[in-house]
Amino acid sequence: MKIVIIHGQSHKGSTYHIARKLAEKIGGDIQEFFLPRDFDEFCIGCTTCFVKGEEQCPHHAKLQPITEALDMADVIILASPVYVFHVTGAMKALLDHYGFRWMAHRPEEKMFKKQGVCISTAAGAGTKSTNQDMAHSLFNWGVPRIYKLGFAVAATSYDGISPKKRQAIEKKTEKIANKIKKANQRRINPNLKLRGMFAIMRIVQIHGWNPKDMDYWNAKGWTKDKRPWR
């Protein structure tokens, strides 16, 4: 399997080590990106990606290596430490650039056959809302199977995590890795929630307002009988 990890920070702390541990347990080719080192631009809200095309985004060239890695991967791991109950600013800035890929606009059909994992760590609380930040994007990209791993590590470094908590991390990452490997052996289909969202967006595009999005859906055949997961 091909695995891509997007780290929401450039240092190698608890979140990094857990994400890397999971990827190694899954096995395969691992590609990593560190934010903001590998992408440090903020979306400027120009709406160019929506109405003219993502190729016209002023940050398109810098974003392209990450986009290509996401498209090629079988498993996408988004990992961020908790910053005030949410993802890091660098992770948020990256995800903002993929608004055009949400199902409301022009989702990439490759996403409907992938698995995604959201990983977050905190000294205390906030992992649930942080993982949800990342899961919102994975779901709206069309990823049919999403796992969430949140750990309150009660430490400010990976070395400071207690043996008991390390044992829990080992157990949970092993469990998720096994689920991912098992699912990869068969066809991954979207659940009813994802199918329902796609159906709603299909109706939106049939009666849409943005020609760029409508042309995309029509060209894919999604406004008729074709579906990206078939």
Alpha-carbon distance of 134 to 79, in angstroms, equals 8
Strand 115-122 to strand 75-81: parallel, antiparallel, or no bridges (unpaired)?
parallel
Give the pLDDT score at 13.
Answer: 95
Residue 186 pLDDT: 87
The percent of residues in the chain predicted with pLDDT above 90, rounded, is 96
CA distances from 10 to 32, 90, 91, 152, 226 (A): 11, 10, 11, 20, 41
User: Which residues of the chain carry a pLDDT beneath 70?
Assistant: none
| C-alpha dist (Å) from residue 57 to 119, 136, 143 | 28, 22, 24
**According to the model, what pLDDT value does residue 180 have?**
97
Contact 90, 120 (CB under 8 A): no
Nearest to 39 by CA among 84, 86, 82, 98: 98
Instruction: Determine which helix (DSSP H) or strand (DSSP E) holds 127, and give its type and residue range.
Output: helix 127-141
Beta-carbon-side half-sphere exposure of residue 23 (alpha carbons within 13 Å): 26
Query: According to the model, what pLDDT value does residue 29 have?
Result: 98
